[in-house]
Chain A
Amino acid sequence: MPLTEAAATAQPAAPAPSADGPPGAGAVTFGARALVRASAARSGVELKAFFRNKQSLVFTLFFPVILLVVFASIFSGKVEGTDTDFRQVFMSGVIAAGVMSTAFSGLAINIAVERDTGLVRRLALTPMPKTAYFIGKIVRVVVTTALETVLLIGIAATAFDLELPHTAERWATLGWCLALGTAACALAGTAYSAVIPNSRSASAVVTPVFMVLQFISGVFYPFDKLPLWMQNTAALFPVKWMAQGFRSVFLPDSFTVVEPAGSWELGRVALVLALWAVGGLVATTLTFGWRGPRVR
């Protein structure tokens, strides 16, 4: 009987604390150390689960890679009015698609599944600092998005002649564009998970948003050739601005002749992405629930 062994090794029962013990007792246990321990536990579990799950690997991590390989092999020719290969334009855009895949789609589906299969409910029943859950999500998104970006840039540079930036300024633009874009997509994804009714429908509710935004944001087709209403619609969402930011990193400045404003508009890229991050954060705080009818 396993139980007798367990009982034999058990420590003697601690005296039960009185029902209304002094407030502040155990403050150390519930302070920063508890947050660090809980965040480490959450982060470890997030990464293990992501890399063990074939579905998240294939649909979230490798799908943009497949898009890159397929379309970079198909596309050829210069963008009208410029001296730039459309393939170069597409490869800049697909990095934006990669960020949206890991930070938005992957995260929104992940949170919806955790809410539907009892994990969120069970975490809420523990003394876990709620922040630890979100720190775990940040680690998940940062690691997977960084890996996605390295994969895409690596394959594009080695197999499809994507020219890497030569100036520190352009690398810096890549850095902040990636950081702001990831924050905007992740916070929007967390908020969007609130409209997913259950884990079975998660992919169906998330993937169309991902696909449509790629098409209207100039990832697969030169943005300036899209109908104006489509350009204006896309300008409301972060993918168009991320793609524009990444074009400023990888394409020559002469390409700005076909950009809507005739320039890279980096200030506006930063502004729109930051607004999406703030909006996503506000929507998340309003909609994220640890309990309620959808938390099973």
Chain B
Amino acid sequence: MPTAPTGHPVSVRGLSKDYGDVHAVRDISLDIHRGEVFALLGPNGAGKTTTVDILTGVRQRTSGDVRVLGHDPAEDPREWRARIGVVPQTAGAYADLTVREVVSHFAAMYPAPLRTEQVLDMVGLGRHHRTQALALSGGQQRRLDVAVGVVGDPELIFLDEPTTGLDPVARREAWELVRWFADRGRTTVLTTHYLDEAEELAQRAGVVVGGRLAACAPLSELGGRDNTRTHVSFRRTAALRDRALPALPPGTETAHDDTSDTVTLRTSEPSGVLSVLLPWAREAGSPELPELRVHRPTLEEIYLNLIDRETVACP
């Protein structure tokens, strides 16, 4: 069995988790680097939360080697707990206590916590510190969960879908919080359904599909995104229809859709294509190309394409 090295905050080698015949996590290998925000993406039931639960010592693994801040999470030493912050996926309910009481109560469990007021301001609950926790809106309760998870000033933070149910303003406040910890050199593992969130915050991402790691790369390279061609497309006017296309940069592929009379050029040099295409259109007397689009594949398209890929290792 391969052994996980201890240099990274999180090192996983050959991690598997079975529930009877169900293989929830299958042979995942992964390193998360110090100081980065690492996004864990994947559809519902893919095994993201099971993986996070194993890394945070909530569940036991079936096989594989896991090192989190140099420890096996299954041992769960208290000194190690103090260095880790966890915001679980399920929301907590804190009955009969005010927001402030909840957070300062959790702060008392840590050797060097952040100030309660500071954490409440960070999650945008500063004005609500006297409110009963159960009287908060759903989104505010989620923010309280985040406050509870990070009040210990952790070195390594696990956020399992922290912004689900938050409005756009609250989501951005949560992003600021992630950046604030990242700026202090802390490491964050972020599980999310929102690809824009991953794109906004994370340097690298892993995509988990069916319990396997289907991709693991910097976000700009995820799923071969950096090598994927750009699509330049436009509709042909009558004036353009009779003219042959100009000489395009080498390697450009041309496709034509007859029903919409749309031309699509697939290229790795979109600027080069446009620099010959626009003079060509002007000469044809159609200086505005109808429905001109330059389209780079979005993270979402890449992500959706990844669903069938095979397992990779993430160094």
Residue of A3, A5, A42, A119 most packed against chain B (CB within 10 A):
A3
Q: Does B91 have its Cβ within 8 Å of any Cβ on chain A?
A: yes
> Does B208 belong to the interface (CB within 8 Å)?
no
Q: Assess whether A117 is in contact with B95, with CB atoms less than 8 Å apart.
A: yes
Contact B95 A17 (CB under 8 A): no
Q: Is the interface of B mostly helix, strand, loop or mixed?
A: loop
Please determine whether A291 and B121 come into contact, CB atoms closer than 8 angstroms.
Answer: no
- Determine the residue in chain A with the shortest Cβ distance to B11: A19
Interface residue count for B (Cβ, 8 Å)? Answer: 55
A167–B170 Cα gap in the complex (Å)?
66
Smallest distance from the beta carbon of A263 to chain B beta carbons, Å?
A: 46
Among B88, B124, B173, contact of A125 (Cβ-Cβ < 8 Å): B88
Is A126 within 8 A of B118, CB to CB? no
Q: Nearest chain A CB to B22's CB is how many angstroms away? A: 14
CB of A204 within 8 A of chain B? no
Knowing A6-B121, A20-B6, say if A53 contacts B111 (CB, 8 Å). no
Q: Are A3 and B6 in contact (CB under 8 A)?
A: no
**In the complex, chain B residues 64-93 whose Cβ is within 8 Å of any chain A Cβ:** 67, 69-71, 78-79, 81-84, 86, 88, 90-93
Are B97 and A45 closer than 8 Å at their CB atoms? yes
With A6-B180, A49-B97 known as contacts, the answer to whether A117 contacts B92 (CB < 8 A) is yes
Report the interface size class on chain A. Answer: 35 or more
Q: Which residues of B contact A183 (CB under 8 A)?
A: none
* B108, CB-defined interface residue at 8 Å: yes
- Is A128 touching B122 in the complex (CB atoms < 8 A)? no
Known contacts: A2-B122, A3-B177, A3-B180. The answer to whether A37 contacts B6 by CB under 8 A is: no
B residues within 8 Å of A by Cβ?
6-9, 34, 56, 58-59, 67, 69-71, 78-79, 81-84, 86, 88, 90-97, 101, 104-106, 108-112, 114, 118, 121-122, 124, 126, 148-149, 152, 155, 173, 176-177, 180, 183-186
A→B interface (CB under 8 Å): 1-3, 5-7, 9-10, 13-14, 16-21, 25-26, 29-30, 34, 37-38, 40-42, 44-45, 48-50, 52-53, 113, 117-119, 121-129, 132, 291, 296
A-B contact pairs, 13 of them (CB 8 A): A6-B118, A7-B180, A19-B7, A19-B67, A30-B78, A117-B93, A117-B95, A125-B88, A126-B82, A127-B81, A127-B111, A127-B152, A296-B90
